[in-house]
Structure 1
Amino acid sequence: MPTEIDTATKDWFRTKFGLLDEITLGKLLLIKDLFNLTNNDVYVQWESFVVTQGDGDMDLSAPNLDRFQHHLQSSLTYAHNKRTPALKKVRDLAGNKRKAQGFDFSSSPQTVDPSPRLKRRNDVPSSEPWSSPSKAEVPLSPRAMALAESDTVVESLNPSVEVGELALSVQIAANFDPEKFRFRTMAMKLLESADVLDEQIDAVSLQLLEIYKNSDILLGNPCMSSQLDIICCGRIVPDSPLYDSMPALSLNDKSLFLETSRFGGIGQRLPLDLSNLKEFSFFPGQIVGLKGRNPTGRAFVVHEVLSLPSLGAPVSSLAELTESADSDLGSKVFVAAGPFSNLITCDYTKLESLVTKLNDVIKPQVAILFGPFVDLANKSVQVGDIEVSGLTANQQPKNLDDVFRAMVTPILKQIDSLIQVILMPSLRDAVCKHASYPQSPLDRKKLGLPKNFKCFPNPSAFSINEVMFGTSNLDVFRDLKDIYKSSAEDSSISSNRFERIANHIFDQRRYYPIFPGSIKTSNDQSNSALYDGMMSEELSEIEVGGSCLEVPYMGLSELGDSLPDVMIIPSELKYFAKVIKGVIVVNPGQFIRPHRDADRTEGSYVVLNIQGPDANAPDNVEKVENSDLYYHNVYKRTRVDIYRS
């Protein structure tokens, strides 16, 4: 165990993990030294360990740190052992030919302007007193939570906001072109993808060129040797494509490269020297503007990370805010994200109970349901062991569309016709024809759903009355792994990982700014017999649940010309609701969290109570100076309650 701990490292760990005794702190330092990890690597690996091994609830104690150390050692050993020699693979191929069967990991998207006719402002503060949600109760352990009564509030944002009488109905307007999502999947071309990736860099370069056009510092090529500071733009890339699957190759501040566009630097990559920066947050795929120089021609020394032009908050005229007869009344929006059955069997009993609560207790005007509905990761779906009770042998489902119509549609049709329901697919949905992101909507008529259901693509932007919603059903909070460094005083970078990721989404103007996307892997080798070829063992480790990006159509995942009022992105990680840059950012969690025990079905869902716009009320809409427009200020007049399901 280390005997000497430098003050900076000690302060960093205590800032990130809270108050630590000397024994716990010593164990953290030992783990850091044993596995050659950076401070941030230790924090991220511990966070991942808590989610995967402790169901999101585990205290930082010495026994748990011993388990954490054993987990890291097992991961490292497995990553080393799985690299089977090529000779063994050839011998296996020659001795036992097996039928190949694989998953479809393709899809495609295009460019759309998802924002409405709203303008925006650029002076919304990055942090407000509303950003810290109040806990309604002390967090419970996973087992205690399973035994506790469901439908109780576990976290609230703006609990003091009171919403009176609700409007009888609300108006839903889609701010996307559904025709642009009807593209062909499995048709991605390399040059088309390269053009889109270059355009992302060149678009930011033009913005920086406009900002610094009167400056003495010029926009230049970072790959060329120079003794003077220049401004450059590029994409952050890792030094190894295996960083996400091998702990030994995890990201650190010495492993980042800058990739230029073909126009700005003929597509070259060069290492980044970040030693002069006091704070930063970088991740693979991030488009950045940098100020610095390349004195040796071998690395770009960064002196400053340039702020990118930010989007503003949406605004509307008073006529638009009051265009409906009962616009001053409040609205209630329900949000839940799948899966809606456990991962062992296709049991939708809990979804039936939810529908009853929607009709009799919650009574929202709008219910937003995120997939998966028929989950490809479900064990019963994977092996085809699905039997619908009450049907004869000839009436049993023949395909997965039939499973949805036989098991899910009858339950959803019981939702009160006065409740407008928005369905958004997941990449794990068996009934969606697109298996990549961005993703086309579900087919309402094909699934036999009534007219109060609206099927939106993934991602999508829409408005409920005057409130702008931005939604995406791809787990960016799990997938985005940033290299983070913060100065001790007055840091502009949040120490909260969720807040940093949300800020990255706003700065990059894309719901999923990571590139390349993530691949979900598993240690389960039971499916290895389904694959053949030199990569059979690696393919057997890939699970459904990663991000399959259709790069030529990633323009469909852009935010548009203004920030939303509410951004909802479900994640496997712990639920939360925060106010970031004037936007309510919500992770509703999963309605049923995956668990090996089929009897455990705990999860979470969210209810938003939104006050109607009132120009004369405090903490409500606010008039824009020297204009007839009003800021929506939805983050001031909305209460967000997260319930245990």
Structure 2
Amino acid sequence: MDSKDIIAAFGPSESLNDEVIEKINTLKQIFQLSTDDIFVRWETYNVNEVQNDLDLNTVNLEGFQQYLQRELSNQTRATPSIKKAKDFGSIKRKPLLPINSSSPIETPNKFRKLGETPFKTPNTHLKLDSSPGDNFHTANNTFQRSPVNNLSSSPTKPDSNSVIETLNAHIDEISNDYETDFKFKIATNFDAAKYKFRTMSMKLLESADVLDEQIDTMASLYQEVHKDTQFGNPCLSSQFQITCCGRIVPDSALYDKLFNQDLNATSLYLETSRLSGIGQRVPLDLTNVKEYSLFPGQIVCLEGKNPTGRGFIVDKILELPELGAPVTPIEEIKEISEGFKGTDGLKFVIACGPFSNSSNLNYNKFEQFINRINNEIKPDLVILCGPFVDLNNKSVVDGEIELPQEKVQPVNLDEVFKKTITPILKKLNPKIQAILIPSLRDATVKHCSYPQDSFDRKALGLPKNVKVFPNPNGFSINEIVFGCSNLDVFKDLKDVSKIDSSSKILSNRFERIINHIFDQRRYYPIFPGSVIRRPCNDKKVVESLDGIMAEELSETKIGGSSLEVSYMGLAELGDSLPDVLISPSELKYFAKVVKNVIVINPGSFIRPYKDDTKQEGTYVVMNTRVPDLEDSDNVEAINDDSNLYYHNVFKRSRIDIYKS
């Protein structure tokens, strides 16, 4: 039995006994699924089907098996005939300049010239080790306990507002009394004006330019590090080994769009840019590769040959240049340290919507949460990610919105926000700063595609201490660099992987995806994006649509990634890795350290439940100590002669995941 893989995927728990592990292995054999696929579908079953956080036991796994059987039968029913299908056609860490609050880092333009590169290629000799023991720590005990990061977790169901898991438990919590005049600086690393583009007006040639640019830019970055490399065209027949760069794409245009098809190693193609291979695609043969993790949209550099002209035989997948880590001059570090005026550090609260039950617009629990922030947690900054007024909420879908506490009922969804969310946010202590980040499921934001513009704070009547940022975004709090993307990459990214015991590729799916985000230098590196489908049994809806795909179109629901391809330059990480990456997901909450970056999935504040009285979820409290030049587990000089310091936020931060 693959007990180690199952424990690594589902996390250590008392419920994972031999009987449960044997049942999971049986499901893997019946449905021909990997451990990661079983875990993702179990989480999907909890969120979408039963709308409950089920215990992992044999009784619930029987219901899960029936769900998998229904899903399999739906896929079989939806498989198109050949006649229909043919209609669709075939770290090195580099010192970087500190973020200046008066001059934000420039956000990538909509287009760049092919000769320009938006990234800096690392050229120092210090490289991040990729071994789990050094740079991969997690709050759910996926790896063994470490003297650097003490990990703790609770096997039993905790009470509300109690700690579920902790990363760096040896660091004390920071207390705030708001009696001092301490102020911290918030600097944005994006140009808000660039998010004001017009949605739903994507042009094919503009999208093609951006997709080509992604390939050509990565090829240029690779050549900057490996200067003797010459790229060839993998689509041309050649008996000699060549190096090429391209994008991984599925062999079918219908992949994961309408039929929830799973990729495998024989269904991957490499797409070239118009500059390197006139945009042609070639099938990939991965037989000679010992280990890999590939997904649609991934930019890769490969070594191999195409002897017949019909397929590219891959001999080696080359490592891409790594992004650098942010640094700050010693003078600024000292200034920041002196500015704390006796306080121990900064405290952050991170939560992601929905903030009401999926059946109604009752925000009492969110109001209680704000009161607890004011009176008990007392943070310096609160980061709230949408959705706030959820498009998938039953009241919004049915159009039956009634607010009992209001004499005059709202006439539009903006007024729903102003009458429900705004009054609660106004109760937030004025000394606490707040940042609101929208979701594609938010009903009160103009942009319904990704990248996404921010909320209109004036129209929504938000108080002065509440700031609105776009999605995705980068910002800094003093020296700490944050990156945030409110789009579920962990649920959407489905990779084809081959991993052995001596593999450098991590067996934990979450950490593989985080590595892909860093390597691809994009918050959402998947292409094409995801589409949400749910069964539609209404024959009138099906009959109202025309064409051979009418039934499938009727099952497409609100959701998915809705990528605005022409503006995907706004979704790039920039010139360095962040210190903290916030990436909310419907899947299980976690806090991990990957390549010296704290990666946080706060989970949903209220998970979807059929029972209106059940409102459970999670949120995160992060405590970060003051930068200290004398402390070995704090900021670190690049070398003995440099006055630039790495922030090492992962060494001086405690992350607690709370049950809401």
TMscore range, shorter length: 0.7 to 0.9
Q: Is the 8 A contact 2:36 2:509 kept in 1?
A: no
> Alignment partner for residue 362 of structure 1, among 353, 365, 377?
377
1:377-392 paired onto structure 2 within 5 Å: 377-392=392-407
Name the amino acid aligned to 2:56. Answer: D
Structure-2 change in CA distance of 1:444 and 1:254 (3 Å): same
Corresponding position of 1:285: 297
1:27-66 paired onto structure 2 within 5 Å: 31=27, 34-35=30-31, 41=37, 45=41, 48-49=44-45, 52=48, 55=52, 57-59=54-56, 61=58, 65-66=61-62
The Cα offsets for residues 358-405 of structure 1, whole Å up to 9 and x where unpaired, read as 11011111000001111100010111211222433xx21110001111
Distance of 1:124 and 1:471 partners within structure 2: 22
Q: Is the 8 A contact 1:114 1:175 kept in 2?
A: no
Distance of 1:160 and 1:608 partners within structure 2: 13
Q: Is the 8 A contact 1:114 1:176 kept in 2?
A: no
Deviation at 1:416, TM superposition (A): 0.6
Secondary structure of 1:374 counterpart: coil
More moved, 290-299 vs 326-335: 326-335
Structure-2 change in CA distance of 1:256 and 1:50 (3 Å): farther
Deviation at 1:527, TM superposition (A): 9.8
> Alignment partner for residue 483 of structure 2, among 466, 470, 474?
470
Deviation at 1:164, TM superposition (A): 4.9
Secondary structure of 2:335 counterpart: coil
Structure-2 change in CA distance of 1:85 and 1:403 (3 Å): farther
Deviation at 1:456, TM superposition (A): 0.3
Deviation at 1:36, TM superposition (A): 5.2
For these two proteins, the number of residue pairs brought into alignment is 605
Distance of 1:18 and 1:78 partners within structure 2: 30
Q: Does 2:632 correspond to 1:618?
A: yes
Q: Does 2:397 correspond to 1:353?
A: no
> Alignment partner for residue 132 of structure 1, among 109, 131, 138?
138
Structure-2 change in CA distance of 1:229 and 1:466 (3 Å): same
Structure-2 change in CA distance of 1:412 and 1:11 (3 Å): closer
More moved, 464-473 vs 538-547: 538-547
The Cα offsets for residues 516-562 of structure 1, whole Å up to 9 and x where unpaired, read as 00011112546964953335432332222210000000000000000
Corresponding position of 1:123: 127
* Consecutive unaligned residues in structure 1, runs of 5 or more: 1-6, 88-107
Secondary structure of 1:191 counterpart: helix
Corresponding position of 2:101: none
Corresponding position of 1:149: 159
Structure-2 change in CA distance of 1:32 and 1:574 (3 Å): closer
Name the amino acid aligned to 1:443. Answer: D
Distance of 2:247 and 2:275 partners within structure 1: 13
Secondary structure of 1:322 counterpart: helix
Distance of 2:5 and 2:374 partners within structure 1: 49
> Alignment partner for residue 443 of structure 2, among 430, 433, 436?
430
Structure-2 change in CA distance of 1:388 and 1:31 (3 Å): closer
Q: Is the 8 A contact 1:527 1:540 kept in 2?
A: no
Q: Is the 8 A contact 1:510 1:559 kept in 2?
A: yes
> Alignment partner for residue 322 of structure 1, among 309, 334, 339?
334
Corresponding position of 1:206: 220
Q: Is the 8 A contact 2:635 2:647 kept in 1?
A: yes
Name the amino acid aligned to 2:412. Answer: N
More moved, 12-21 vs 555-564: 12-21
Secondary structure of 1:617 counterpart: coil
TM-score, normalised relative to structure 1: 0.86
Deviation at 1:250, TM superposition (A): 1.2
Secondary structure of 1:323 counterpart: helix
More moved, 566-575 vs 39-48: 39-48
Corresponding position of 1:260: 272
The Cα offsets for residues 6-54 of structure 1, whole Å up to 9 and x where unpaired, read as x9x8997798689999987876676556545567655654564466557
Q: Does 2:181 correspond to 1:159?
A: no
Q: Is the 8 A contact 1:122 1:310 kept in 2?
A: no
Corresponding position of 1:238: 250
Q: Is the 8 A contact 1:76 1:246 kept in 2?
A: no
Corresponding position of 2:324: 312
Name the amino acid aligned to 2:427. Answer: Q
1:9-28 paired onto structure 2 within 5 Å: none
Secondary structure of 1:635 counterpart: helix
Distance of 2:125 and 2:54 partners within structure 1: 39
Q: Is the 8 A contact 2:257 2:530 kept in 1?
A: no
Structure-2 change in CA distance of 1:184 and 1:613 (3 Å): same
The Cα offsets for residues 168-208 of structure 1, whole Å up to 9 and x where unpaired, read as 33211111000000101111000000000000001111223
Corresponding position of 1:228: 240
Structure-2 change in CA distance of 1:24 and 1:351 (3 Å): closer
More moved, 356-365 vs 11-20: 11-20
Distance of 2:207 and 2:396 partners within structure 1: 33
Distance of 1:152 and 1:11 partners within structure 2: 29
Q: Is the 8 A contact 2:386 2:436 kept in 1?
A: yes
The Cα offsets for residues 439-488 of structure 1, whole Å up to 9 and x where unpaired, read as 00001111001111110000000001110000010000110001111121
Structure-2 change in CA distance of 1:72 and 1:620 (3 Å): same
Q: Does 2:462 correspond to 1:452?
A: no
The Cα offsets for residues 288-311 of structure 1, whole Å up to 9 and x where unpaired, read as 011111112111111111000000
1:84-103 paired onto structure 2 within 5 Å: none
Q: Is the 8 A contact 1:130 1:157 kept in 2?
A: no
The Cα offsets for residues 51-89 of structure 1, whole Å up to 9 and x where unpaired, read as 65575554364x5554444322211222333569999xx
Structure-2 change in CA distance of 1:249 and 1:408 (3 Å): closer
Q: Is the 8 A contact 1:121 1:312 kept in 2?
A: no
> Alignment partner for residue 78 of structure 1, among 74, 80, 93?
74
1:544-583 paired onto structure 2 within 5 Å: 544-583=558-597
Q: Is the 8 A contact 1:114 1:461 kept in 2?
A: no
Q: Does 2:649 correspond to 1:643?
A: no
Q: Does 2:602 correspond to 1:588?
A: yes
Structure-2 change in CA distance of 1:173 and 1:120 (3 Å): farther
Name the amino acid aligned to 1:125. Answer: D
More moved, 396-405 vs 291-300: 291-300
Name the amino acid aligned to 2:270. Answer: L
> Alignment partner for residue 200 of structure 2, among 178, 181, 186?
186
Secondary structure of 2:238 counterpart: coil
Secondary structure of 1:357 counterpart: helix
Distance of 1:381 and 1:638 partners within structure 2: 39
Deviation at 1:323, TM superposition (A): 3.0
> Alignment partner for residue 355 of structure 2, among 340, 343, 350?
340
Q: Is the 8 A contact 2:168 2:654 kept in 1?
A: yes
Name the amino acid aligned to 2:464. Answer: K
Deviation at 1:136, TM superposition (A): 4.2
Name the amino acid aligned to 1:270. Answer: V
Secondary structure of 1:334 counterpart: strand
Corresponding position of 1:110: 110
